Amino acid sequence: MSRKLIGVKTAGADDASSKTEAITTIGSAGIINAVGINNTADAHIATAKKLTRIFVRSGFRRRLLLGLFTVLIIIGFITSLMFGHTFYSIDEIIRVIMGEKVPGASFTVGTLRLPRAVLAVIAGFCFGLSGAAFQTMLRNPLASPDIIGISAGASAAAVFAIVVFSLSSAAVSLFAVVSGLAVAMIVYLLSYRRGVEGSRLILIGIGVAAMLDSVTTYLMSQAAQWDLQEAMRWLTGSLNGTTWNQVVPVLIALVVCGTVLLSQAKNLSLSQLGDDAATALGVRVNRTRLLVILSAVGLISFATAAAGPVAFVAFLSGPIALRIFKSDGSNLIPAAMVGALLMLVADFLGQYAFGIRYPVGVLTGVLGAPYLIYLIVRTNRGKGGA
Amino acid sequence: MAEIAANTSTTSDTAKLWYPKRYKTLALILLAIVLLALLVASIKIGSREVSWEEVLAAFSGNVDDIGTGSVAKRIPRTMLAVLAGAALAVSGAVMQGVTRNPLADPGILGINMGATLAVVIGIAFFGLSAAISYIWVAIIGAAITAVMVYAIASLGHGGATPIKLALAGTATSVALVSFITAVTLPRNDIAENVRSWQIGGVGGATMDGIIAVVPFLLAGFLICLICASKLNMLALGDELAAGLGERVAIARGVSALGAVLLCGAATAITGPIGFVGLIVPHACRLLTGADHRWLIPFSAVSGAIHLVAADVLGRIIARPAELDVAIITALIGAPFFIYIVRKQKVRSL
């Protein structure tokens, strides 16, 4: 009885979640030990809690945080335009953006830093959206597209295009996008057996990724020295030498695929409750899943084609956003913002913080390791759902 | 929950636990004969054609022209393929037993990458250059990674399910690869060295390296064989095993130590080679059933066969160049992995 009361309270007051949640867990654990049944009641409470989170967007906190992140991204953006080997003041930068000719700054800021920073933000959005979409859909914080083979497909194709055909960067992008989509389709079809089950999709994705990685390795071992440099740079994920030609396709992809994905945001959140519950609530599960996969794969393929498979941005953005925003409403936009911020900061640090210039992918990849350790530590303290 | 899943996956095997002993012995002998034939092929076949006389001359220590010279180069290479194949396969079989998880494999769990990072750090910061010093470092790296991946996978509900284990391994691999890049990128002098080692092959085998690694491998094999009957107990589920008087935690720890020794030491010499530990034990279970006392020797012989065959294949396909074994094993192994995933009813999240 007491447990039920606490449960209802939690469902109502979403803001005080963490404390009450702890009480609920302790309380229910005790009762379950004592009685041994009541599992179904527990499940109902969990469902009710999730539903409240989806429907009752506690607006103020969320809007505040979104505003804060927007400000942070703008600060990061301007910082990466201002600082570097030469410093340019803010009004010089504004004049460059307005299209005036400023000696020195026009080249350094307008041609070198601006496309780079813009790509960092846009690609970050793409990675974040796509990662969060996959993680939400597959209900697993580790199941992001860079883990389950889609980035691996794009990478193998790009390296093939560079090493075997010595293609230009536009053609390489096209190659990467097409094969990213193809790999996603192959994984989807291979995991189809009376419907697609999330866990099977993940595992088959990992298998396909392993195979594609070995193809990449083989191609690299055959590469000539000059191609090798190019391929290595691309593979680690780097924003060096970004031009506007690379930025435009990603921007278009972000607008098109991003819109489709966000239109499915509520259905996606509901499908987290499980296929049966979602269907009961009026979600066409298979249609939602297909739309989400297509748009998420489109996003990550275009971003990967331009910036390379920047390790872990798609993987980390979702869980970080979830921690900060406490899952009020859909996690897609928060994850996109976290992704953009991650890209900006990692790229800036990679360029100037160390003696040597590291590509952005090395930094983000290294950031992933403490996150994994954090997962262990957090769960050992209390049994949070990982 | 995890136990139920593991038990249902092994019930079909348990039914086959009692194959007649002499069939198994016969099968093992047949496999040994296949291995012998492959050894001969591995020494005979390569980018340079050699005659039987040259092979014999090289074996009697007569190395004075190109033909006998290339045979003399193929001998350590073949030996290494045998040792590494056996070690990786046994390591995979034991890991599958310890974690009671059909997808456990040193490659998928990222343990090979852990060993690789440790060796790369050793080369870059501590100036390691001898094979013997690689081995210790690689084993330590493998052990740390194994513990870490298993810990990550055990989080949340249901313990270390196949899917969580595979995801944790892959994610850890990605992080480790970034570290490897971060270490090698500023150091052009070692980058080439590391890159060639990182692909994973047996082509660069030397007698000294093999002699250095043999004691570790022997220790690993011994531990695994001793633990075989304990692994059979663990397969019954923790509660039942404990009820039958098995100290579960110790059995698990010791077996895992044997598996880590084997794959760490093998990786130190060959570089990371994936999927051998996955497909060989699965294929062997078809012959032996779930009894680890038979599974481990079968895996050893079949693993050796698999790696020697992959190495020979790599020399034939790309003639006159060579394909590294790790590439071949991944190209063969990944479809097999997908097949297992499709066939098994993998427990949902």
A201-246 pLDDT, tens digit each:
888 888 888 888 888 888 887 777 777 777 777 777 788 878 888 8
DSSP state of A224: -
Q: Kindly list the residues from chain A whose CB atom is less than 8 angstroms away from the CB atom of residue B331.
A: 211, 214-215
Most confident range (mean pLDDT) of A375-384, B123-132, B263-272 is B263-272
Whole-angstrom distance, CA of residue A123 vs CA of residue A246: 11
Residues within 8 A of A (CB atoms), B 49-88 only: none
User: In this predicted structure, what is the pLDDT of residue A11?
Assistant: 38
Q: Which of B51, B304, B311, B276 is nearest to B205 (CA)?
A: B311
Residues within 8 A of B (CB atoms), A 135-154 only: 138-140, 142-143, 146-147
DSSP state of A192: B
DSSP state of B128: -
DSSP state of A196: B
Whole-angstrom distance, CA of residue A238 vs CA of residue B323: 29
pLDDT at B89 over 90: yes
**Hey, is the C-beta of B335 within 8 angstroms of any chain A C-beta?**
yes
**Hey, is the C-beta of B330 within 8 angstroms of any chain A C-beta?**
yes
Q: Kindly list the residues from chain B whose CB atom is less than 8 angstroms away from the CB atom of residue A240.
A: none
pLDDT tens for B210-238 read 888 899 999 999 999 999 988 888 888 87
User: In this predicted structure, what is the pLDDT of residue B158?
Assistant: 65
Q: Is B330 exposed, middle or buried (0-12, 13-18, 19+ CB in 10 A)?
A: buried
A232 to chain B, minimum CA–CA distance in Å? 10
Whole-angstrom distance, CA of residue A292 vs CA of residue A261: 6
Most confident range (mean pLDDT) of A7-11, A202-206, B67-71, B200-204 is A202-206
Residues within 8 A of B (CB atoms), A 227-286 only: 236
Whole-angstrom distance, CA of residue B209 vs CA of residue B207: 5
CA distances to A8, A29, A235, B5 from A37, in Å: 19, 11, 52, 21
User: In this predicted structure, what is the pLDDT of residue B347?
Assistant: 40
The amino acid at A328: D
pLDDT tens for B284-329 read 888 887 788 889 999 999 999 999 999 999 888 877 777 888 888 8
**Hey, is the C-beta of A200 within 8 angstroms of any chain B C-beta?**
yes
pLDDT at B127 over 90: no
Q: Kindly list the residues from chain A whose CB atom is less than 8 angstroms away from the CB atom of residue B342.
A: 190-191, 193, 200, 204
Cβ of B185 within 8 Å of Cβ of A356? The answer is: yes
Q: Where are the alpha helices (DSSP H) in chain A?
A: 2-12, 17-35, 39-55, 59-82, 90-97, 105, 114-138, 150-163, 169-190, 198-222, 225-236, 244-263, 265-271, 275-280, 285-307, 313-325, 332-352, 360-381
Cβ of A209 within 8 Å of Cβ of B342? The answer is: no
- Determine the residue among B117, B170, B343 to mutate to test chain A binding: the one whose Cβ has the most chain A Cβ atoms within 10 Å: B170
Chains A, B: CB pairs < 8 Å: 150
Q: Kindly list the residues from chain A whose CB atom is less than 8 angstroms away from the CB atom of residue B157.
A: 385
Nearest beta carbon to residue B174 from set A207, A358, A365: A365
DSSP state of B206: -
pLDDT at B205 over 80: no
Q: DSSP string spanning A6-71?
A: HHHHHHH--TTHHHHHHHHHHHHHHHHHHHS--HHHHHHHHHHHHHHHHHS--HHHHHHHHHHHHH
Q: Kindly list the residues from chain B whose CB atom is less than 8 angstroms away from the CB atom of residue A236.
A: 181, 185
Mean residue pLDDT of chain B comes to 81
Asked if A313 contacts A350 with a C-beta cutoff of 8 angstroms, the reply is no
Whole-angstrom distance, CA of residue B173 vs CA of residue B186: 21
Domains located in chain B, CATH noted: 77-107+156-161+195-342 (1.10.3470.10)
Residues within 8 A of A (CB atoms), B 157-186 only: 157, 162-164, 166-168, 170-172, 174-179, 181-182, 185-186
pLDDT at B47 over 80: no
Looking at chain B, how many residues does it have? 349
The model's pTM is 0.76
Asked if A362 contacts B185 with a C-beta cutoff of 8 angstroms, the reply is yes
Whole-angstrom distance, CA of residue A315 vs CA of residue B128: 34
Whole-angstrom distance, CA of residue B78 vs CA of residue B101: 31
Q: Which residue of B has its CA nearest to A142?
A: B167
User: In this predicted structure, what is the pLDDT of residue B124?
Assistant: 84
Q: Which residue of A has its CA nearest to B170?
A: A147
Whole-angstrom distance, CA of residue B235 vs CA of residue B127: 44
- Determine the residue among A189, A191, A221 to mutate to test chain B binding: the one whose Cβ has the most chain B Cβ atoms within 10 Å: A221
pLDDT per residue as tens, chain A (386 positions) = 333 333 333 333 444 444 334 334 433 433 333 333 445 666 667 766 666 665 555 677 888 888 999 999 999 999 888 887 778 888 888 888 877 777 777 788 778 888 899 999 999 999 999 999 988 888 877 778 887 888 888 888 888 888 888 777 677 778 888 888 888 888 888 887 776 677 788 888 888 888 888 888 888 877 777 777 777 777 777 888 788 888 888 899 899 999 999 998 888 888 777 778 888 887 888 888 888 988 998 898 888 888 888 878 888 888 888 888 876 667 889 999 999 999 999 999 988 887 778 888 888 888 877 777 776 666 554 444 43
Looking at chain A, how many residues does it have? 386
**Hey, is the C-beta of A197 within 8 angstroms of any chain B C-beta?**
yes
User: In this predicted structure, what is the pLDDT of residue A383?
Assistant: 41
CA distances to A137, A200, A223, A269, A332 from A272, in Å: 7, 17, 45, 5, 13
User: In this predicted structure, what is the pLDDT of residue A27?
Assistant: 39
Rounded to 5 degrees, φ, ψ at A24 are -55, -45
Cβ of B349 within 8 Å of Cβ of A198? The answer is: yes
Does the interface ipTM go beyond 0.90? Answer: no
Q: Where are the alpha helices (DSSP H) in A56-113?
A: 59-82, 90-97, 105
**More confidently predicted of B199 and A126:** A126
Q: Which residue of B has its CA nearest to A141?
A: B167
